[in-house]
Amino acid sequence: MPQDKFYITTPIYYVNDVPHIGHAYTTIAADVVARYKRLEGYEVFFLTGTDEHGQKVQQAANDLNLSPQEHTNKLHQRFKELWVRLNISNSDFIRTTEERHKKLVRNILQELHSKGEIYQDSYEGWYCTPCERFWTEKDLAQGNCPECQRKVEKIKEHNYFFRMGKYQEWLIDRIKNDPHFILPASRRNEVLGFLDKPLEDLCISRPRSRLPWGIPLPFDEEYVTYVWFDALINYISIHGSLEEIKASGFWPADHNMVGKDILTTHAVYWSTMLKAIGLEPPKNIFAHGWWTVNGQKMSKSLQNVVEPNQLIEQFGVDAIRYFLLREVPFGLDGDFSHKALIGRLNSDLANNLGNLLNRTVNMMKKYCGGTIPTPATAGPEDEPLTTKAEEVIAEVRKLYGELAYNKILQKIWELVDTTNQYIDKTGPWNLAKTDEGKERLKTVMYNSAESLRVLGVLLNPFMPTSTESLMKQLGAETSIEDQGMISINEWGGLKPGSQTQKAKQLFPRIEDKQAKKILDELSEPKEDNKDSQITIDEFMKVELKTGKILEAEKVKKSKKLIQLKVDIGTETRQILAGIAGSYEPEDLVGRTVIIVANLKPAKLMGIESQGMVLAAGNDGKILLAGFDQEPGQGIQVR
Ligand SMILES: [Zn+2]
């Protein structure tokens, strides 16, 4: 019988990015499912890779005096190497600059152009070079790019468009009729919300004169392909030509796994592109959340980008794989903290699971001479353990369908706990004291070891290295991969007579002293940074605006306060300022001042102040900040 096929992908990562914990997270998550499906007997194709075209790559290459191709040849290695260190079992690695990819992109473009799905039109819009995106007038944020806040240029040019708009109704129906198509449900609603507005056609070309680093359009070499129209095709180009894709049995993919920031691109662009090509959309697009680090957004300037290579050295690969998927429900945002990681490593891994293996293997040596004994018929005390194992296995299988990693791990830990309790309750150390007890002891020791074998199989997709070591210690003769999920369908797969090996710690504890050292080292450079400098992002959070003082009066019973009415363009604010010692109210009316417009309102002397006026104070003399020319009201100051 042919094997059932299963296809899972990560997004292809932008080759210019430095691989961080977010990239590792998606890739580990996809890897766990791929490994699990293999254990279930599926023929699995697991794809990851790098997105290598576009302006930023070209720019970075120019700065380094390299050709873009030379540059990406170097850069993509950082991802490949990290995946090896993280034990990622991908079937292939696609690069969008490879011939096999470019070929299909061009064939698809040619076919869609011949079918009239692509047309030429003139286009006028606001263009953000760093983001490589056009924006309409209403998209702009105070005249700037809504995504990166940088300056935009007005550009008018001829371009090619994909008739995406005509698939709007089809797409809405598809999403509504298939609750599994886009997950989690909250994100599906966001996509439907986006589709409430008319769906426009997609500009899929860029003039080569402006952006040479891309795939030339086959029907007009003066243009290159828009990066998304190029990149998304990676999910199918790996399987060859359109005929080969259809024949491969790997399309539609079971999961296109993405970060929440690129969900719309996948749900809308990718699905409609496939529709036009004549292929099904993926069975599922799953958008996961983002990681902050110790409560803060990851950013290079904050120096808190968690470097996965460093984490691997400090804590070991499996602890990191476990932590990322255990800590936060897949789909929600999470916070990465070294403290939480150390906590989980010590309690879940070292204490609960590690000790269970350790005590079992040691007792096996002490009471059974290191040989797995033949169990007697199960008694009433054994039943809770075998029943729990059965329940956990069934539940885990179900939860994989929802990619509910944290629940899967929680569930598996119920079996860890039940097994520890089983040993405590049956007390092998007491059983060993009497002849009657010694017979019973065989069953207890067998069951404890068999439960660990079940745990080894269930945990293998998450922690491939540690679980193989666990299996060896238990004396199993075959690898977990060879045993498969089928080997835990029934209790009793562990062969009596097998020789256990010497007990070895799976997860060494991070002792308090060591933990303190790790945390201290981490906080040093960051604290520095925090005290003296802020990032442009942090500064941009402060909304400074110009405003004209319409009214001013002294606050009764206060020596310092003046109550102002300030027109900030969109509204009039009541603001209190401590400037009565330096200004008379009548001198203030008509003056333009700078105010902090997004300050939380506060009450002073029972009067609400809706903002703050900027001023410089020295020796009791206070001077209002202002301008040498009249800027007008409601203008942003920065
Ligand atoms: Zn931008």
Ligand 1: centre distance to CA 118 (Å) = 26
Q: Which residue has the higher pLDDT, 276 or 127?
A: 276
| pLDDT for residue 307 is more than 90 | no
Ligand 1: centre distance to CA 238 (Å) = 31
pLDDT of residue 59: 87
Share of the chain above pLDDT 70, in %: 96
Ligand 1: centre distance to CA 636 (Å) = 19
Q: Quote the CA–CA distance of 608 and 595 in Å, as a whole number.
A: 15
| pLDDT for residue 247 is more than 60 | yes
Amino acid letter for position 121: D
| Cβ 197 vs Cβ 190: under 8 Å | no
Amino acid letter for position 366: K
Q: What is the average pLDDT score of the chain?
A: 91
pLDDT of residue 601: 80
pLDDT of residue 615: 87
pLDDT in tens, 25-84: 999 999 999 999 999 999 999 999 999 998 889 988 998 899 999 999 999 999 999 999
pLDDT in tens, 430-461: 999 999 999 999 999 999 999 999 999 999 99
Query: pLDDT-based confidence at 506, cuts 50/70/90?
Result: very high
pLDDT of residue 604: 77
| pLDDT for residue 303 is more than 70 | no
pLDDT of residue 531: 47
Query: pLDDT-based confidence at 520, cuts 50/70/90?
Result: confident
Ligand 1: centre distance to CA 151 (Å) = 8
Ligand 1: centre distance to CA 480 (Å) = 48
Ligand 1: centre distance to CA 538 (Å) = 18
Helix (H) and strand (E) counts for the chain? 24, 26
Ligand 1: centre distance to CA 144 (Å) = 8
pLDDT of residue 299: 65
Ligand 1: centre distance to CA 226 (Å) = 16
Ligand 1: centre distance to CA 626 (Å) = 31
pLDDT in tens, 135-147: 888 889 889 998 8
Prediction pTM value: 0.80
Ligand 1: centre distance to CA 537 (Å) = 14
Query: pLDDT-based confidence at 530, cuts 50/70/90?
Result: very low
Closest CA to 89 of 506, 465, 466, 403: 465
For 7, phi and psi rounded to 5 degrees? -130, 125
Q: Which two tokens stand for residue 373?
A: 């004994």
pLDDT of residue 420: 98
Q: Which two tokens stand for residue 326?
A: 């255990």
| pLDDT for residue 388 is more than 90 | yes
Q: Which residue has the higher pLDDT, 621 or 272?
A: 272
Place of tokens 């529709």: 275
- Mean pLDDT along residues 238-261: 96
Ligand 1: centre distance to CA 291 (Å) = 22
| pLDDT for residue 526 is more than 50 | no
Ligand 1: centre distance to CA 149 (Å) = 6
Ligand 1: centre distance to CA 233 (Å) = 24
Ligand 1: centre distance to CA 570 (Å) = 26
Ligand 1: centre distance to CA 132 (Å) = 7
pLDDT in tens, 76-133: 999 999 999 999 999 999 999 999 999 999 999 999 999 999 999 998 889 888 777 8
pLDDT of residue 56: 86
- Mean pLDDT along residues 565-580: 87
pLDDT of residue 582: 85
Ligand 1: centre distance to CA 9 (Å) = 27
pLDDT of residue 304: 60
Query: pLDDT-based confidence at 623, cuts 50/70/90?
Result: confident
| Cβ 419 vs Cβ 448: under 8 Å | yes
Please, what sign has the CA dihedral across residues 117, 123, 129, 131? negative
For 184, phi and psi rounded to 5 degrees? -70, 170
pLDDT of residue 237: 98
Ligand 1: centre distance to CA 133 (Å) = 7
Q: Quote the CA–CA distance of 50 and 264 in Å, as a whole number.
A: 19
pLDDT of residue 603: 77
pLDDT of residue 302: 53
Cβ neighbours of residue 355 under 8 Å, at least 6 residues apart? 420
Q: Quote the CA–CA distance of 84 and 80 in Å, as a whole number.
A: 7
Least confident of 190-194, 290-294, 530-534: 530-534
Ligand 1: centre distance to CA 50 (Å) = 21
Ligand 1: centre distance to CA 127 (Å) = 8
Residues with CB under 5 A from ligand 1 (ion): 128, 131, 145, 147-148
| Cβ 113 vs Cβ 130: under 8 Å | no
pLDDT of residue 462: 98
Pick the most confident of 430-444, 515-529, 564-578: 430-444
SS3 524: helix
Q: Quote the CA–CA distance of 332 and 288 in Å, as a whole number.
A: 6
Q: Can you give the length of the chain in residues?
A: 638
Share of the chain above pLDDT 90, in %: 69
Query: pLDDT-based confidence at 428, cuts 50/70/90?
Result: very high
pLDDT in tens, 186-226: 999 999 999 999 999 999 999 998 888 999 999 999 999 99
Q: Which two tokens stand for residue 252?
A: 């539609």
Any alpha helices (H) in 162-220, and if so which ranges? 168-177, 185-194
| pLDDT for residue 263 is more than 90 | yes
Ligand 1: centre distance to CA 137 (Å) = 14
Ligand 1: centre distance to CA 22 (Å) = 21
What is the Rg, in whole angstroms, of the alpha carbon atoms belonging to the chain? 31
| Cβ 264 vs Cβ 271: under 8 Å | no
| CA distances (Å), origin 506, targets 354, 429, 467 | 6, 23, 9
Ligand 1: centre distance to CA 138 (Å) = 15
